[in-house]
Structure 1
C-alpha cells in the first residue's frame, strides 16, 4: 500500500482544525486508504475534506454514521456498503446510521448503479476504511491505558483489554483517536473471522418504506415548486408541427404551456391539474424519419441475417472447412422483442435553474452523467450544479439515461421556476428507451462422434450496439468459431435493460446448446462439461471466463436439483457467465392437463463472498422472476412508429401466482465479491425453455413464449 502524500497530510490537518464533534474517516477510492480525518458533527462534512469517496464517522455518543454514495434502486447497496465497513470496524450494527450522500465528484468515485459493479469496485477500500478506523481506536485506547495495542482486541463497538478486563466504547475514544496519525498499512480480517458479512441483515430503509416515509423521487417537494407533464411525439420518427394550447391554459391551476424541441410541457400547481390539462392540447405532428412497424423489423431481420456486410467479432480456426466436412449441421434462429423497463416508479425529476446555480433532485442511476449533461445543455460549469439522490423505485437500466433529467432542467430554465417533471405510466411505456429487439442465427457442426467442431453465431440488432458477447462460453472450447453481427439504426430509442444483451442472448445460446446436445445424443449437462474440459485442456484463442467457476455452479445445480434422476417432472438446464459472476439453473416443469407448468427453479450462484445473505437471496430470486416473466409474457410491438402497448392492461408482466418455488444456493469459494444484481436473470429463459421441450417435445425459439404456436395459446403458470 502506498504512503499518504504530504498534500494528503496537510488536508488531514486542515480537516482536523476546522471540525468538531467526533471522528470522521474519509477513504480514497484510488489508493483504498484513509486520506483524511477530523472532528465533525456526524451529519455534515466539512468543506476541507478533499478526494473523499465515502465516510465513516463516530460521534462521542457512539453513533457510527456511514454516507452511502451510490444510488439505491433495490440492489441493497445502501445496506451492503456499511456492512462491509462495519465488519472490519467490529462495529455494533445497532448503532450504525446510514445516510444517502449527494453527488460529489470531489469526494466520491463511481457514484453509479449499473453493471453489477458497486460492491466489486468498493470491496477493498470499504474494508480498509473500517480496518483503519479500528486500528486508530485501538491505538487511542492503548495510549490511555499505557499498554501495547497488540494486547487489545475489539468487539461490538468496544475496545477490550482482556488482561485487565477493561473496555471502552468507540465513542469514548473518538476524540483521542482523531488526534493520531492515519496508519498507512492495516491488516484486514481473515474471511473465517467475519461476523456480519455473510449473515442476513434487514434493508436499512425497510421501516421508512413500509411506513411511507419520503424516500423516492416522487416524494420530493421544494418550496415554490411547480409540476409539469410533457407531451412527446406520438411516434418515433415524428416531429412537432403545431400546437393549440388555448383550452389547456384556461383550466384552473395551469401556469403555462411551454414548447421546447419536440416537447410540449404543461406547467401547473398540481399533478392532477397538469395531467387533466394535457388532454386538452391540440397538437399536430409530421414525419421526420421512417415510421417503422414490427412487420418492418421482421423483414429487416431476415434480410440482415443474410447480409454479406457484417462486423466480425471473433473468428477462430477454419470455420468454412469445419462445416464443409461436418457429419451433421444444426441450424436455428431465435428472436426477442422490444421490452419496456417498467419500473414501478415512472420517470420524474426536480430542477431549479437559478442565476447562481442549478439544484437537481431525483432518482438516477448515473448522477454524474446527469449533472454533466445538464451542464452542457445549459452551458454552465458542472461545479455550479448540486444533485440530491433519492431512492429509486426501480430502474433496471432505464435510469442510466438522463433524458428526463434534461427535460426538467431545460423546462426550469425556460419558466425560471423550480419544477418537477412527472411521467405517467403511458409516458413511461411509450416514450422509450427500450430493450433492443434482436434476432440470432446459430449453426453448429458435429463430427461423426458427436463432437462440436464448428460454431457460428450471427446477431442482428435494432439499435443494440453489439448484440453478441463473442468471448463468452462456448468460445475457447470450439476449434472453429465465427461470431459476427449486423446492426440496424432506428429512430426507436433503446438502452441497457437488466443484464444488457445477455438477458436474451443467454436464452438463445443455452437453448441452442441443448439442441446441439440432442443432435449429438448427449446429456445437456454432460455436453457442457465436456466443452469446458476441452477449453481447459486445449483452449482455442483467449478465454475470458473462469472455467472452474463455471464448472462449479454446473455441478452444484446438478447436485441440488438431482439432475436427471427425478420422476414425474421434466428438467431443463442453463448456465451463464455475466457481470463477473456465474449462475446455473435447473427448471422443473410438469404437465397439468397437457399444459406445461413451471413448478420450481434451482439456482447455483458463484458471486464470490456474499455480503448480505438476505439481499443476495432476493437478488437471485428477483432475477429469476424477472427473467421468467419477461420470457413468458412481455412484448412491445410497433405500428407506424408508435408503440402499441401503453399500460399494463396489454403489456403483460408476471403475476404472483405464476412465480414458482425458487431454491437458491451459493458457491462458497472465498474470493472477493463479483456482481449479483444482474447475473441470475440471463440463464432463466433457457432453463425454462429446455424444460418445456422435455415436457412437450417442442422447441421455443422466440419470446414471449406464451405467444408462440408451439404452446397453442396454453397458459404456463
Structure 2
C-alpha cells in the first residue's frame, strides 16, 4: 500500500471557510485550484451564488455534514462517489452525510461536465485535500480550546480526541473552526485506513428513484408553465418552406404556434462556435400547449412543406463513400513508427480485413427536455444536460444577454451516453421562452429523439498486418468515418509500441447528418474491430490468443521509445485475471468462448464471452470481466457501471441497426430498432485488480471490448468471422452454422 501523503497547496486559491449566520460552518472549495484570491465566501446558504467556488461543504452544529455535489448526475454515480471521497478524509460517519446537487458555476469551474469517464479521476486528489483540510481545521479548533498542540489530537467518525481521552464532536467546535486560518499542510490517509472508500454505498438518490419522487428533468414543473414541442425537418438536408397551422390552433389546449431558428442563424452568422450546438439555423415550427399531450397533438396537426437544400444522403451511399476512402490515399497520418510499406513488401503474408459499423442513436430512457423562463431580468434554465457551463454561455450569446443573467439548475438525467453533451434542446427551450416571454418546458417524444438526434457516426476500418518468419512485423490501421468519428483514432493505444512498424491513418466524409460522441467515443467500435482482427491473427500465426497478447505486451515493456498511453503490465494483469476466472479454454461442450482486452478512458479491461448456439442463433450466457481502474471508490456503483457497459455493448453490437434513406432515418421507435431485451442479458461476473493507484473511469471502458469478445465467440461456435455490426444481421444461414 502507498504511504499517506502530505499535501501542500495554496489556501488562497483552493479553499475558504466562514461561519454561517444560521449556525455551523461552510467551506467553499475549487476542485481545480482555480478560485480567485479575492473571492469572498458567503455567510449563509441563502446567499450562495456559487460564483466564487465550485463546491461546498456545510458542517452543522449538530455535526451533520452536507456536501454539495458539483458534477451532473447521469447515473454514473458521481453524486454518491465524489462525496464519499470527501467524507473519507473528513472522517465522518457516512450516515451523517447528506448530498445535494449544486447548481452551475459559470465563472470558475473548469470541468462541471459529465462525460469521458473523468469525474472521479480529475476530482480524486482535490476532493481528498478538501476533506482532510476541513478535518484539520476542526482538530485545530478543538486543540485550541483544550490548550494543547493539534498533533496531540486525532479525529474519527466526527469525534475529536486528545491524548487525555477528552472528546469533542465536530459540531461542538465548528463555529471556532470557521474563524481559523485554512491550514497549508494536511496529511491524507493511507488507503489501507479507508473506512468509506472501497465500501459499497447505495445511491444517495435511491429512495427517491424507487418511490418516483421528482428528480429528473421531465419531473420539473412550475406554476403557469406551458409545454412546447418542435416540428423539425423530416430529413437531413431539408428546410421549412411553409406551413399551415389552422388545424393545430383550433385544438383545445393549444396556446400558440410559432417558428424558431432566427437566433441560431444569428449566432452562426456571428462567427461564434460551440461544439455543443449540432444544429442548423433552419426554421422549425413550435407548438405551445397547456399540457405535453396538447402540444404533441398540435404538432401532428401542422401541415408543413419542406424543400431540399442539400443532398439527401442514404446509408448505401455512405457505405460506398467510406469503402472508396479506405482504398484511396487521402488520409491524415496520426502515427507512423518504422516503415510499414517496407514491412509489407518483405512479408511472407499480409492479413487484411475490413470492419463496418452503422450509425447509432443514443436512446436515453428520458427523452430530451428542458425548462426555460426568459424574462427581462434573468434567464432561468432547469433540466438534464451534461455540459451546463457551455450551455449557459451559448444561451447568453443566443439571446444577447450577459452570462451573469443566465442560471442553470441541474436535474438528475435519465441517461446521457453523450447525447446530453449537446445542448440543442436547451437552446431551443431558451429561444421559445424568449419569443413568448413565458416559462415553458420543451419536451421531445421518442420519435423526436431518434429521428433528429446526434448519432454515433458510421465508420469502417481497414486493418492489415504483415507476417515474416511467424512474427508480426507490421500493422496498418485505416479509419474512414462519417464526419471524422469526432476525435479520430487514438494512435497511442494498444498495439502502439508493440509492433516495430506501425501506422495509423484517418479519413472522413463530411455529412449533413449530425454526429458526435456516443458512449466511449472513438473506441466503441474500434475495439471490436482491432480485437476481432487480433483473434484472427493469432489463428493465422498458430498461437494461443492469450499468449499472443502477452508476447506483444512484453514487446512494449522492452521498448523504451514506446510512446503509449496504456500500461502493458496492467493489460497483462486483467488478461490473466479474466482468463483464470472464466476457465478459458476449459468450458463444457456446447459453450464457446471469445476474448477481448482493451484500454480506454484510462482504464484497462479484459472480457471473455461465453455463448451457446440456440437454433442457429448465438446467445450470450456469461461474460467474465476483469477491470483495473485503480482504487475502487464505491464497489456498488462500480459494479453497476461495469455491468451496464457490458450489457449496453452486447446489445448494440448484436442487434442495433440504424441508417438513412434519402436523409430520413430508417427507424423512429423501438418497434423497428432493437435494443437488448431482458431475456438476452447474460450473467456478468466482475473481478477487480487490487490496487492503491489513483482511480480512473468506469462509465465507458467496459463497453468497447465486448463486441469483439462476442464476435470471437461466435467464430469459435460457427467457424464464421463476422466483420460487420450488428452481428445478428450478418450471421451465415442456419444450415451453414456448425455449432
Aligned match of 1:250: 250
CA contact (8 A) 2:259 2:285 kept: yes
SS where residue 494 of structure 1 aligns?
coil
* CA deviation map 1:336-387 (0-9, x unaligned): 0011100000000111111122111100000001111111111111111010
Map of 2:720 onto structure 1: 698
Q: Which residue of 2 aligns with 1:139?
A: 140
Q: Aligned runs of 1:303-452 on 2, under 5 Å?
A: 303-448=324-469, 450-452=470-472
Deviating more after overlay: 346-355 vs 51-60: 51-60
Which residue number corresponds to residue 507 of structure 2? 486
User: How many Å apart are 1:540 and its aligned residue?
Assistant: 5.5
| 1:499 has 2:501 as partner | no
What is the CA-CA distance between 1:18 and the residue it aligns to? Answer: 7.6
Pairing 1:548–2:569 present? yes
User: After superposition, what is the alpha-carbon deviation per residue over 1:137-193, rounded to whole angstroms, capped at 9, x for unaligned?
Assistant: 1111122223332222222111123x4433222112111111211101100000000
Q: Using the alignment, how far apart are the partners of 2:516 and 2:18 within structure 1? A: 45
Question: Which residue of 2 is the match for residue 27 of structure 1?
Answer: 29
CA contact (8 A) 1:23 1:39 kept: no
Report how far residue 256 of structure 1 moved. 0.8
Q: Secondary structure at the match of 2:524?
A: helix
1:460 paired to 2:497 = no
The yes-or-no answer on 1:515 pairing with 2:536 is yes
- Is this contact kept in 1: 2:556–2:562, CA < 8 A? no
Q: Distance in 2 between matches of 1:322 and 1:632?
A: 35
SS, match of residue 186 in structure 1: strand
Query: Per the alignment, do residues 575 and 485 of structure 1 end up closer, same or farther by CA in structure 2, a change over 3 Å counting?
Result: same
Partner residue, 1:654: 676
- 1:613 corresponds, among 632, 635, 640, to 635
Matches within 5 A, 1:660-679: 660-679=682-701
CA shift for structure 1 position 546: 1.3
Partners of 1:437 and 1:462 within 8 A in 2: yes
What is the DSSP-based 3-state SS (H/G/I as helix, E as strand, rest coil) of the residue aligned with 1:710? coil
1:25: how far off?
Answer: 1.3
Instruction: Measure, in 2, the Cα distance between the counterparts of 1:432 and 1:411.
Output: 19
Question: What is the CA–CA distance in structure 1 between the aligned matches of 2:117 and 2:154, rounded to whole Å?
Answer: 35
Offset at residue 265 of structure 1 (A): 0.2
Secondary structure of the 2:732 match is helix
Long gaps (5+) in structure 1: none
- Cα 1:91–1:107 change in 2 (3 A) is farther
- Give 1:38 deviation, angstroms: 6.9
Q: Does 1:524 align with 2:545?
A: yes
Q: CA deviation at 1:592?
A: 3.7
Instruction: Provide the TM-score with structure 1 as the length reference.
Output: 0.95
For the residue of structure 2 that corresponds to 1:614, the secondary structure is helix
Q: Does 1:682 align with 2:684?
A: no
Query: Partners in 2 of 1:180 and 1:135 — Cα distance?
Result: 11
Cα RMSD (Å): 2.1
Q: Is the 1:103–1:111 contact (alpha carbons within 8 Å) kept by the matching residues of 2?
A: yes
Between 1:31-40 and 1:519-528, the stretch displaced more is: 31-40
The question of 1:53 aligning with 2:54 is answered yes
Length, aligned pairs only: 707
CA contact (8 A) 2:198 2:632 kept: yes
**Counterpart-to-counterpart distance in 2, 1:500 and 1:194:** 33
Equivalence for 2:114: 113
Correspondence 1:280-295 to 2 at 5 A: 280-295=301-316
Indicate if the aligned counterparts of 1:59 and 1:171 stay in contact, CA closer than 8 A. yes
Is residue 34–residue 132 contact of structure 1 (8 Å, CA) maintained in 2?
A: no
Partner of 1:198: 198
Calculate the TM-score normalised by the size of structure 2: 0.92
**C-alpha separation between the residues in 1 aligned to 2:41 and 2:335?**
53
- Where does structure 2 lack aligned partners over 5 or more consecutive residues? 1-6, 262-282
Indicate how the Cα distance of structure 1 residues 267 and 602 shifts in structure 2: closer, same or farther if over 3 A, else same.
Answer: same
In 2, Cα distance between the equivalents of 1:192 and 1:30?
A: 26
